[in-house]
Chains A and B, each alone.
Chain A
């Protein structure tokens, strides 16, 4: 999976609790992305980062925040998890912008909010 790890790989949590997902890369790529994948919706972009401390919102950013204090780590936080955030979350990295470069995906984190 192109030097990308995600942790945890599976998590069950209760509604209202905070949850943080971690993406770690060993490729030193500048761009990192968080997506969620749901049946009937395909993959949707939550947030992305184009450098340390440089982040921007994606299509479905409400209820999520991100942080990137080091090149190799990109954290996704659900401030107060809701059942609608039950999903599979994928991290991706890219050497450059999507105008030119492909993305490499991690193995995913399956999150269940009860």
Chain B
């Protein structure tokens, strides 16, 4: 399966700390996308990284991609209470998004 698998499944940190989530996948990809989902809401796109890119930044977000290890990481710096959410990686191969099961991030005040 091409499905991405996030690690850890749950992460709880103090406000102001950095949060790192990892995603591993099994087959070659065209790009990899990260999404956030707040409780009871739809998913929100965070960042897209193409297979020929190694790192991408967007505000407090930093995404890396290592195609040789078939893995990606999402770093959120200086976390805030509003970052509490589930984070999903989604891999793109045959023109379809395949989602992992997500990492549940809790930011404690």
* A contact set with B: CB distance below 8 Å: 1, 4, 33, 40-45, 48, 58-59, 90, 92, 97-100, 102-108
Most B CB within 10 A of own CB, among A33, A43, A59: A43
- The dominant DSSP class at the B interface is strand
Residues of A within 8 A of B30 (CB): 98-99
If the complex has contacts A42-B88, A103-B45, A106-B42, are A98 and B100 also in contact, measured as CB distance less than 8 A? no
A42 close to B100 (CB less than 8 A): yes
Sample of 13 further A-B pairs with CB below 8 A, known A103-B97, A104-B45: A1-B42, A4-B42, A41-B101, A42-B88, A43-B43, A90-B43, A92-B43, A98-B97, A99-B95, A102-B45, A102-B48, A103-B43, A103-B45
If the complex has contacts A40-B101, A42-B101, are A99 and B42 also in contact, measured as CB distance less than 8 A? no
B99 within 8 A of A: yes
**Interchain pairs with CB closer than 8 A, number:** 55
Count residues of B near A (Cβ-Cβ below 8 Å). Answer: 22
How far apart are B46's CB and chain A's nearest CB, in angstroms?
9
A105 close to B43 (CB less than 8 A): yes
Chain A residue with minimal CB distance to B30? A99
A42 close to B44 (CB less than 8 A): no
B22 within 8 A of A: no
Per-residue contact bits, chain B 16-38, to A (CB 8 Å; 1 contact, 0 not): 00000000000000110101000
If the complex has contacts A41-B101, A42-B88, are A105 and B96 also in contact, measured as CB distance less than 8 A? no
B101 close to A107 (CB less than 8 A): no
Residues of A within 8 A of B42 (CB): 1, 4, 90, 92, 105-108
Question: How far is A102 from B96 in the complex, measured between Cα atoms in Å?
Answer: 11
From B41, B92, B101, contact of A98 by CB (8 A): B92
Residues of B within 8 A of A42 (CB): 3, 88, 99-102
